[in-house]
Structures are given as C-alpha cells and as structure tokens.
Structure 1
Amino acid sequence: MKPFLWCFGIIISSLLQIPPIDTAKLIPNLGYYVEMHQMDCVGDSNYFADLYCKILTPKNRTMEASVNIMHKLTAFSGSLRVSIPNAKKVITQIFDITFDVCKVLRERKRKVLIDLLVNTLARNSNAMAWRCPFPKGKFESKNISVTDLPPMLTESEFFVNLDFFIPKVAHAMNITLHGHLYELAKEKARRKKFL
C-alpha cells in the first residue's frame, strides 16, 4: 500500500507541477503508536530475582524493566505469541515464534518481529552488547517504547505473551502485555472530528 501511495503522489505532483518536497505532504502519515493497558512479569527466583516491569504514565506509551540474573545463562530460549481479538471479540493468535535467544543475538538476519523485540529491549539498556552467555548481574532498560512497526498493520487491541526458558531445565520468565495499536492518520482524523 505504501509504495502505491508514493507512486500516486509522484504522478500527481508531476501533473500538477508540485515541487518534490511538497509531494510528501500529499501522502498520509502511515505511522503507529502503541498504548499499553496492563503488563505483568513473573520469573523463577532460582534464575531471576527482583524482576520488575512497569508501564509509565500518563501516556502509557513507554515502559521500564529490570531483572537480577542469579546465574550465568549459557542456553536461553524464548517464545513470543501475539494475539488480537476479531470483530466478535474472539482472540486469534497471529504470531507464535519460538527462538534460541543466543542464536538470535549472534545472527544479523532475523525475523522482523524478533528483530523488533531485540532492538526495543536493547534501546536505553545498561546491557551495552547483548550477547550470550548472559553474565550474572542486574540488567535494566528504561523508556522502552515500541517503534518502527511494519506498515501492514491495522488498528487493533493486542495481547503479547513472551516466555523465556532454559531448554529442558526450567520455564524461567513470563511477560504479558495488553495494549492497543493506533494508526496516526486515523487518530488525527478522530481528533479533528471532535475538536
């Protein structure tokens, strides 16, 4: 959809003799923002202590988290599930990905959703270089916000379930997040309607 809009904008600008800089103004903003409603995190105290996660008010668009890793982690896996309700409020799972955390951190080519997760968590973190094995110690990340979302999304409520586990040993941590994805162009139109 986005490439079509760019081509359409260029054609219109050439027909109307509009400068290229003003062409961009013809194309609607296709950005998104996430508003979070509820976040919970629990961990196995044998591996993680002082696990903390919180949505930051007043806008509920950022969060912060910290954890104290009790033992050096050499093998670490994760499972990411994203669900949305349909028109009848039935929850439909749209993503279910299991991944080796260490492999994901080593590789440069990642699935889009996993890359988004890694970049989001690494931003504003005291873990300068996220790599395996994870050393014992405290890790924290502040002002975590979800950005750079793929352009094919639509406004929707969403549920995220992120599990971390030590393969064949223990389920180590669970993070759940409930929120809403808003499209900037639609939000601006709603504001104009009511203002």
Structure 2
Amino acid sequence: MWRLLWTIGFMASFLQTQRAAAANVLIHQGYFVEMSQMNCVGNPIYFTNINCKILPPLNRTMESSVELLKNLPTLSATLRVSLPNPKKVYTQIFAITFDVCKVIRERKRKMLIDFLVSTLARNSNVVMRCPFPKGNYYSKNISVTDLPPMLTENDFMAHFDIFIPKVAVVLNVTVRGHLFDTAKENARKKKYL
C-alpha cells in the first residue's frame, strides 16, 4: 500500500515539475517587435491632432492620440505586411481586409485581427462599438509581443489603413521594424552575458 502511495506521489510530483517546465518554455516562445519608424496620417475631414510615436529606449512600445471630428458609422480596415528580399526591396507577403464593426460585433476573428482588437481594447480608451463617436482617443503602451510562432526573424513594414467603404481612407499607420524570435534572442543574451 505504501509503495502504491509513494509511486502515485512521485508521479504527481514529476508531472507537476514537467508542467512547470512546459509552461516556462511556452512563456519564452513567440516573437516581439522592435520598431524603427512609425508614421500616422489622418484624413483632416475626420481627424485632427494626430500624434503617434515609438517609445525609447527599447523601441518596443508605442503610443498615440487623436481627435475624431465626426461620428464614424461604419469602418473597414486593411493590414498589409511586407518583407525585404535580398536586394532590400519590400515585397508584400499578405494583406487582410476586414469589416471593423463586424469583427467587434461578432467576436469571430482571425488570430492577428484578434490580437489587434484585444490590444487596443486593453490599452486605450477607444470605444469598441459602432458607430464610433467623435471625441479624443488615446492608446498607451501598445506593444507587439507574443505573436504566434509561425514567422521568422526579419525586417518588416506594416501598413494599417482604416477606411469608410467607397467613401474615404480616414487613417493610415505605417510601421517599420524588426521581428525577433524570443527564444533566439534569449539564447543570444545568454551567449554574450
């Protein structure tokens, strides 16, 4: 009987250790972004006082503020990501266009879109419903981390366009930077420290 209890206790302890090790590995998987340039351009009919910037010293977070002059009844958005080829010419690798109001309303999202919406909801005062009311909006400490492990370390350029379908582009955000693999970055730090 004691042997059985000891074996069960040992296995439970072993599984607990393995679960902690697996959780530790999962924490260190994924990617983070270090930004080098960010531009925000708004349509003056809809936006004023646009301010967006990358926060030093690590250039891994950004913040922005804007004044929306009119209610926006419906919005769509396009996210385009480009990577440089060996000749340093950027080539678009994917583009996603989606109805912003539908995404917010239905909560059925692709992984990358879900990441964008949840990050904005968590770190800003942006109203996550349509129509978007006029007013002053800000976002603080927006960071691009914990991206899914399906990418490779590389420079990138991302364009995020928000538009009213068949009417006008209302906002464009362009970000350049470098995508780092968290595990590789941790290994590099250990090697040199």
Flag whether TM exceeds 0.5 (same fold): yes
2:150 counterpart of 1:144:
no
Against the structure 1 CA distance between its residues 27 and 116, is the aligned structure 2 distance closer, same or farther, given a 3 Å change threshold?
closer
Larger radius of gyration: 2
Gaps of 5+ in 2: 1-10
C-alpha distance in 2, partners of 1:27/1:141? 30
CA-CA distance at 1:156 after TM superposition:
1.2
Which whole-Å CA distance do the structure 1 matches of 2:43 and 2:60 have between them? 27
Match for residue 118 of structure 2?
Answer: 119
Conserved? CA contact 1:30–1:185, under 8 Å: yes
1:122–1:141 Cα contact (<8 Å) kept: no
Where 1:24 maps in the other structure, the secondary structure is helix
Q: Find the aligned partners of 1:63 and 1:26 in 2 and give their Cα distance.
A: 27
What CA distance in whole angstroms lies between the structure 1 residues aligned with 2:124 and 2:24? 38
Q: 2:62 is paired with a residue of what secondary structure?
A: strand
Indicate the percent of aligned positions where both proteins have the same amino acid. Answer: 61
Counterpart of 2:189 (choices 188, 191, 194) is 191
AA matched with 1:43:
G
State the partner residue of 2:158.
160
Q: Which runs of 4+ in 1 moved over 6 A?
A: none
For residues 163 and 19 of structure 2, the distance between their equivalents in structure 1, rounded to whole angstroms, comes to 50
Amino acid at match of 1:41: C
> How does 1:126-137 map onto structure 2 within 5 Å?
126-127=125-126, 129-137=127-135
| Cα distance, 1:20–1:42 mapped onto 2, change above 3 Å | same
Higher mean C-alpha displacement, 64-73 vs 22-31: 22-31
In the alignment, the residues of structure 2 paired with residue 169 and residue 132 of structure 1 have an alpha-carbon distance, to the nearest angstrom, of 17
Q: Are residue 71 (structure 1) and residue 70 (structure 2) matched?
A: yes
Q: Which TM-score applies when normalising by structure 1?
A: 0.83
Give the partner amino acid of 1:35.
Answer: E
Please provide the CA RMSD for this pair.
Answer: 2.1
Task: Note the 1:29-178 alignment, pairs <5 A.
Answer: 29-127=28-126, 129-178=127-176
Structure 1 residues not aligned, in runs of 5+: 1-13
How far apart, CA to CA, are the structure 1 residues paired with 2:117 and 2:20? 35
Superposition map of 1:16-27 within 5 A: 19-21=17-19, 23-24=21-22, 27=25
